[in-house]
Chain A
Amino acid sequence: MVHSTNSLGPQKPFLAQVSREKCSKYIMSSYLELFLGPIKVLAWLILHFIWKIKKFEFQTLFRKSWEPSIYTEIKTLAQISKEDFRKLPQHLALVFHNFEEEQLLKVARIITWAWMMDIHIISVYDEKGIIKTNASRMHKFITTLLEEVQAAQSAKNLKIKDLPSLKFCNFTFNNKFEGNYTLKIVLLGEDDGKQGIVSVTKDLFQKGLNYRPTNGLSEAFNNKALDFVTWETAINKNVGLDWCDTEPELMMVFGNVNSTLGFLPWHIRLTEIHWLPTLYASTCASFLESLQKFSSCERRVGA
């Protein structure tokens, strides 16, 4: 009996050949991957680098925006005919990404631009709540800007617009102006978004526990099954929007980022969302461009 020196036996050479073919294919694809791998990484890095260059704003490098005086801007805005806009939002939301305290004055200017375009309800939000924390400084800045407008109107004998009464919906400040209409500003922070909805859930539960017919709470809180209107009213009240019939119709997100950054999720179901440059790079022109785009859009509500 002759023992084969081939340990696989006489029927095994075919299997050995198949295994060798698979093995060599595997080795080739590994070498290919070794070669192509760094090329794919490089291609990915180049793609992202080109995008970064395209979106680069030199103003952020210098951390400064070059702007004309508020008087020049107001004069320009006063000359714009509102009839050029098919529609303008009654309620505007301004959302800021990576907000810093030194940008408070710029926010006050944007609010003034909105006021000039007959937008009298403005919600302002940044994800860290810095603007809300500095409510008194915001009030001071807006009041100062409106005073400058008033001074310019008197000095240059120019009728721009009647000054409003200024109301911060979740704060109380003394008003310098007594206008025949009100500019309402709602300052919001992160606690007003998702966390606000959670707080309302707990609050309504507490109200239900504490309900008595004589303590002035609505009968609705006595019911175990709260209706939609009760939930919605409570959510609006929690953020200071209980007096407001309109939700934000337009949201401008400043910061070159495509996200709402946690702004009031309940209130933006039909809000038109626009992405604007960072605060440093945003100008009155970019603000007006957003309003122009809004005026030309159609709103179809499901039907």
Chain B
Amino acid sequence: MSWIKDQDDRSWVQKLCTAVLKQGLIPQHVGFILDGNRRYARGQNLQTVEGHRKGFEKLSDTLRWCLDLGITEVTVFVFSIENFKRSEEEVSGLMKLAKEKFQKLLDEEENLMNEGVCVQIVGDWSLVPEDLRILMAKAMYMTRNNTRAKLNVAFAYTSRNEITRGMKLIHQGLLDGSILEDDVDCKLLEESFYILPSKPLDILVRTSGEKRLSDFLLWQSAETVLCFTNVLWPEFTYWHLLSVVFQFQIDKRNLMHLNLKANDLQVTDLAMEQRQHKFIEKIRQQQWKIIADDASRINSSL
């Protein structure tokens, strides 16, 4: 199963409804918590890993739908740091599935380059097994120059871990003099989370009826629209995605006037902006070097 489905198999009714919704704002960055795979598997009398496979198939459909709708950036919560607490059998099954899917991603290099999709893995790479880390590094390195669409895969991720790592990087920057105290603001902290620049999150979707964020994108979703839907992830349909877009259009109007200081355009001086930019470039280059080294090891590991 490919990461992004090849064909557009929407019906004419779905295309018509899409055309109507496109008269309003379409979210540019959508986050998904893919919840409900295990419950789906139990309901269908399948093994848990099979439920996760079905979940991956649904992800493939959803990424195609997002491309067709004009959603250019998608972040998906695939594996939490908390999930390491699951049974050894399930965790090793998930790692094996992840390795299979990332290998598939590399095999689809031509398709990804044609579609112009850039892949970024967000999470604590130090917790990922080495063989999987090499595949993830290769996928990121291979697609780094694509600009048409972006897929952020949250693997070995929790938001608090992300925020803490960002705070530690800035703390180190303050200690070694790369930045000054006045340079530290919300925008700088958020940029320190990512190796590649990311658009602001527009809407966060969680399936399966749970009404929690479960340590996913806590910072990024602070002022965005949240959508909790009862459907289990493997049963998510195009209609559910259209209702997500509709929800965004309604709530975005309510949030337009949100006057949070973090988003205010404050007067900054050029020297400060340059220091901030240089600092972010420096930490990204350091991270890219590690990724490039890991990516180059792929041939020796195969």
Contact = CB atoms under 8 A, between A and B. Distances in A.
B147 interface: no
B67 interface: no
A258 B91 CA distance: 33
B37 to A, nearest CB: 13
Contacts of B262: 190, 193-195, 262
A303 B84 CA distance: 8
Contacts of B186: 194-195, 198
Interface in A259-283: 259-263, 265-266, 268-274
Interface string B205-249: 000001111110011011111111000000000000000001101
B175 interface: yes
Size category of the A interface is 35 or more
Contacts of B255: 257, 259, 261
Contact of B24 (A44, A195, A228, A256): A44
A259 B184 contact: no
Contacts of A255: 254
Nearest to B258: A127
Contact of A260 (B160, B215, B226, B228): B226
A273 B226 contact: yes
Interface stretch (B137-145, B165-173, B272-280): B165-173
B21 interface: yes
Given A127-B260, A269-B213, A302-B85, A205 B171 contact: yes
A301 B215 CA distance: 10
B174 A205 contact: yes
A88 interface: no
Nearest to A225: B168
Interface string A122-157: 000001100000000000000000000000000000
Nearest to A191: B261
Contacts of A270: 212, 214-215
A204 B159 CA distance: 20
Nearest to B86: A303
A191 B185 CA distance: 12
B222 A201 contact: no
A198 B24 CA distance: 35
A51 B250 contact: yes
B109 interface: no
A234 B86 CA distance: 30
A19 B174 CA distance: 64
Contacts of A202: 174, 181, 184
Given A190-B261, A265-B219, A270-B214, A258 B189 contact: no
A256 B254 CA distance: 9
B158 interface: yes
Contacts of A260: 221-223, 226
A128 B257 CA distance: 11
B82 interface: yes
B107 interface: no
B217 to A, nearest CB: 9
Interface in A240-266: 255-263, 265-266
A78 to B, nearest CB: 29
Interface in A20-76: 36, 40-41, 43-44, 47-48, 51
Nearest to A224: B175
B68 interface: no
B260 A262 contact: yes
Contacts of B254: 97, 255-257, 259
Given A40-B19, A198-B184, A266-B163, A259 B223 contact: yes
A66 B121 CA distance: 52
- Of A47, A51, A272, most B-chain CB atoms within 10 Å: A47
A220 interface: no
B124 to A, nearest CB: 12
Interface string A188-221: 0011011101101110111010000000000000
Contact of A194 (B164, B172, B222, B250): B222
Q: Which of A231, A265, A274 has the most CB of B within 10 A?
A: A265
Given A270-B212, A303-B85, A265 B218 contact: yes
Most buried by A among B23, B212, B214: B212
Given A266-B163, A269-B159, A271-B212, A257 B251 contact: yes
A80 interface: no
Contacts of A262: 222-223, 258, 260, 262
A272 B174 contact: no
B83 A127 contact: no
Contacts of B168: 225-226
B214 A258 contact: no
A303 B226 contact: no
Contacts of A18: none
B271 interface: no
A297 interface: yes
Interface of B: 19-24, 80-83, 85-86, 158-160, 163-164, 167-168, 170-172, 174-175, 181, 184-186, 189, 210-215, 218-219, 221-228, 246-247, 249-251, 254-255, 258-262
5 contacts: A127-B260, A258-B251, A268-B218, A269-B212, A302-B85
